Amino acid sequence: MVSRTRQFTGAVWDIDSDVVDLGDEVTVTRDYVLHTGAVAIMALNDRNELYLVKQYRHPVRMECWEPPAGLMDMPGEEALGTAQRELWEEADLTARQWDVLVDSYTSPGGSTESIRIFLARDVAEVPASERHQREAEEAQMTGAWIPVAEVVDAVLTGRVHSPPLVMGALALDVALRNDFSTLRPVDAPWDRPPTRDL
C-alpha cells in the first residue's frame, strides 16, 4: 500500500481510498468500506425450524427475511458475545449450544466486512420481563419459525436474498446432512480483514 485517505467517516462505517502498488510499475486506487465485522445466528429448534426476522433494509428498499444478526461494534466484545446479545435483542431467545457454521467476506471487492455465522441450538425464549426493548427499524421487526427445508427452497428459488441467510441456510443444510460434522468450535480461527476502529 502506497497511501491511504479517509474519504468518509460515518456512524456505522467509514470509506477509505488506498493507492496500491501491484508491482511491475502498476498502481491502482481502490475505494472501499471499512467495516466493523458482523455476526449472524441460525437459531435452530428441535423441530428443524429456523428463527428468522423480517426487517426493512433501506438501500434495497424492501423488507428482507434474515437470521438475527448485528455489527461487532461494542469495544472488547468477542464474536460469540455479540451473537448471544443479538439473539437476545432481535429474537427474544437464548441458546445453550453454539458452533461456527460458516465465515464469509460479504463483498470483498468493496468492503472489509467479514461475517461469522453461528449455529445456535437448545434455544429457549427469554421471559417477557427480561426482553430487550427494540427501537427504530428494529421496533417493527417481526419473526417466525420456518422449517429449514422451506428456507433452503426459498434460497434456491430466489425468494430470499440476504447474504447471511443464503450462506447460513446452505451451510446448515450441509451440516444437517452430515450429522453436524462440518461445524467448528466457537473459538475456531477467523481470518478477518482490517476492521473499523471502535
Q: How far apart are CA 82 and CA 73, in angstroms?
A: 9
Q: How far apart are CA 19 and CA 1, in angstroms?
A: 6
Q: What are the strands, taking DSSP E only, across the chain? A: 3-9, 14-23, 26-34, 38-43, 49-57, 62-66, 69-71, 93-105, 114-125, 142-147
The active-site residue, picked from 125, 130, 138, 150, is 138
Active site residue 138: yes
Q: Identify how many contiguous H helices and E strands the chain contains and give both numbers.
A: 3, 10
Q: How far apart are CA 104 and CA 69, in angstroms?
A: 14
Q: Which residues neighbour 113 within 8 Å (Cβ) at sequence distance 6 or greater?
A: 33, 35, 37, 38, 105, 106, 107
Report the catalytic residues: 138
